[in-house]
Amino acid sequence: RADAGDALRMSKGARAAANADGVSDEAIRRAIEEPDDLEPDPTGNGRMRLKRGTLTVVVAKDGAVLSVRDRKGRGRR
């Protein structure tokens, strides 16, 4: 378990997606540490898909964050 001060290890794509959706590192940590639901990722390789609320995080076997997606409702701009 990582301390709050430790930087999350994330792929460039996951970091870009988190930034684009306004998802904080703290929200990602919460999803990893206290998921509402978890299941193996369909791509396999030991990856896990963790869900908390509208947030879905895919992590590798080594704990690196590979994907971040927030399905929160978005208003029209």
Predicted local distance difference test score (pLDDT) of residue 5 = 54
13-59: per-residue pLDDT in tens?
999 999 999 999 999 999 999 999 999 999 889 999 999 999 999 99
3-state secondary structure of 49: strand
Model pTM score: 0.83
The answer to whether the beta carbons of residues 35 and 49 sit under 8 Å apart is: no
Read off the tokens for 3.
């301390």
Predicted local distance difference test score (pLDDT) of residue 44 = 87
- The answer, yes or no, to whether residue 3 has pLDDT greater than 80, is no
